[in-house]
Structure 1
Amino acid sequence: MSEQDREREEFQRVARRARAAGAELAPLPRAAKDAALHAIADALVAAAPEIVKANGTDVERARESGTSEYMIDRLSLSADRIAAIAEAVRNVAALPDPVGETVRGSVLPNGLDLRQIRVPLGVVGIIYEGRPNVTVDAAALCLKSGNAAMLRGSSSAYESNTVLVGVMQNALEATDVPRDAVQLVPGTSRESVGHLMRARGLVDVLIPRGGASLINSVVEGSTVPVIETGVGNCSVYVDDAADVGMAVDILVNAKTQRPSVCNAAETFLVHAGIADAFLPRALEALRAKGVTVHGDDRVRSYGEDVVPATEDDWRAEYLSMDIAARVVDSLEDAVAHIRAYGSDHTEAIVTTSQPAARRFVALVDSAAVMVNASTRFTDGEEFGFGAEIGISTQKLHARGPMALPELTSTKYVVTGEGHLRG
């Protein structure tokens, strides 16, 4: 038997165990799931030295391969970071349980009692890059929502992820939640990702978390239903009726508060009617923060250090201290730019005109639209949903920040008294 065949068989065994565990997990009450999450949190803290040691192997290998210090920071775990991860698990335990919630219900004219209730999705596969904390975050959210988790992190964090999943599985042994409800996809090859993507019938949904190339490869190559998350080419449009000071503050916050995340602004569009008042102040403020502006000819006329924008800049998710900028002649031109180049994540308008705000909201078809607020607010915690599994930029099955309710489906429960259809 070839190595590839052995890897496929091992994946099938793991996936079948996850599916069986998911069936056991689904009907458990909230108390059982919360107890399991607290057990996981305690076990993570207790196993911190073991986790840090395994993580050190991943970090050393990453340094030897020339990985940037920024990416190494995302990969690295310390006792303090593990304590924070454990606290995040406890926070998930404190969230309301969506399973069993009635979405809608009524008594039909014929007397039948009809209820639509939330139920777990089943087995949720998560494919993600870099950060080993996602291993725990994703597992906790899946367990709380009654789902088994199949986790496939990047090979760069394989040692860390192996130990983290082992700690969580061992913690579950003393609870009512089955150990196999948390699984690590075996192997580090690209083919191991392919096994997960083709596991239709064993895995109910895939959620990729990472850059555009990862998400596109999963969407295009998967036979399992996929929820797209995360790619964020977010825009800030400064209307001609904007308060200039507010607009500068929102733009700087949206770009620089945390530039490496999907809800950071990557483009700003300025109405020609306010360009003279806004652009000198905005460019100065961005320059002071170390941001490189990639602008069209009209933006470049306001700053000698503005880099000429290319077609690629309009589509770029920089995730860095760079931003693209264009002067537009109308709100409609701004919307046309967003439709042509945006990623349907988050767009913002800064304006004192209510008609302009309403028109922008109506015309922009993104998961979130901000009016006089930073794009950085598109976040499950900020929206009051608690922890999120990611931000969906598609329309089915969920859109925007995906919290616990978005990790469920529904079923109809119909109760009668011997009803027969005539």
Structure 2
Amino acid sequence: MTEHDNDVLVRAEGLYKVFGKRQQESVEKLRRGASRDDLDGATAAVIDASFEVKRGEIFVVMGLSGSGKSTLIRMINGLYDATAGSLEIDGQNIIDMPDKTLREIRRDHVAMVFQHFALLPHRTVADNVAYPLELRGVEKSVRQARAHEILDLVGLTGWGQKLPNQLSGGMQQRVGIARALAADTDILLMDEAFSALDPLIRREMQDQLLELQKDLGKTIIFITHDLNEAMYLGDRIAVMRDGRIVQVGTPEDILTDPANDYVEQFVQDVDRARVLTAANVMEKARPVISVKDGPRTALRAMRDPFLGAAYVVDADRHIVGMITDHDAMRLVQKGERTLTSRITPISSAVVRDSDVLMDIFVPAVEAPLPLAVIDDEDRLVGVIPRITLLAALGPGPNATEEITLPTAPLSNAIIDEVLAEPDTGSAEETEITR
């Protein structure tokens, strides 16, 4: 058994599931390089799968029908025995585990949310939610109180006494999620949990799952055939094809660095604006002016990159505002030694490094400078020029948009001429010509 890592809740190594005759013989053939089609009288559903699921992450397993993803999740749930390999849950290898111990693992560590809800039709919503607690022998008053508490959490306050058929599809799926949460297990397994819902309700449920995850921090293994759903929900994604895991990575990894032609073809139609974040496309901020710098220093910093403006930051790289080369020039000509009087406050030009590209289009259009990207501590970590934003999204109807600054930068010749003049401290301001 592999040494257990406390940050890893589920670990699979060399996992196989073969149905039919001569299963072990089929595994050996597969290990020697045979394909699914080379097996005689056997079907290989999962082939040499290795992956880790970290505590508190949403790990998405994505693939087309027949790729093996649903078989894999049933192995994690203990519904299917592995033909070969190891599968650990919280450091315990459940392969060949005694049935009693396996049932305890499933009861205490794993809960399942099904595609078609799987609610008990003659029980109330509250009773459905409380069912896992009933199986554990929790007294009725306690489990009912817990059920109503979780129904509040998933937005179903007041629906506890209804029957499942009185609820819409989206509401029934919320009940399914609530029932899984009531079990209070470490792991939630979700097998195509939203695929039976219409698109609007499906997106609503995806949003709700992410909101719940912020509060609860569960470890979720989510199965889907929809790559956009995988990209939206997953902290990391395992892409399956013909029983094999062909790539594991973050949504950004899979979108920007596909492992092979199959994955590359898969991601062609992904809505990149909903996946890539500001941090994925930002560039280093150059130049950045310190609030302590004088106007001559600011002009020199803007000269070489031929920029007409730059961000001004304090000692902690918090943005104070922006300064243009025209304003810095006027300060030099007036003999000023600080930038304070000409720093322009900004607001709309700032985005978070975690913001997806879809949410930064409007700020990018309105910003007088490349978008400033800040981190959780409000420090400037990069910038996004509009042309970089468009390029990140690939060719499209806006790809030919003309990118201009509100004022053209001063020529280097003008800057050099002014900087060459002695610093007299004169208050006289002269007209700037081009």
Query: Quick check: TM above 0.5?
Result: no
Which category describes the TM-score, using the shorter chain as reference length? Answer: under 0.3
* Structure number with larger C-alpha Rg: 2
What TM-score results when the alignment is normalised by the length of structure 1?
Answer: 0.24
Structure that is richer in helix per residue: 1
Higher RCO, 1 vs 2 (CA within 8 Å, ≥6 residues apart): 1
What TM-score results when the alignment is normalised by the length of structure 2?
Answer: 0.24
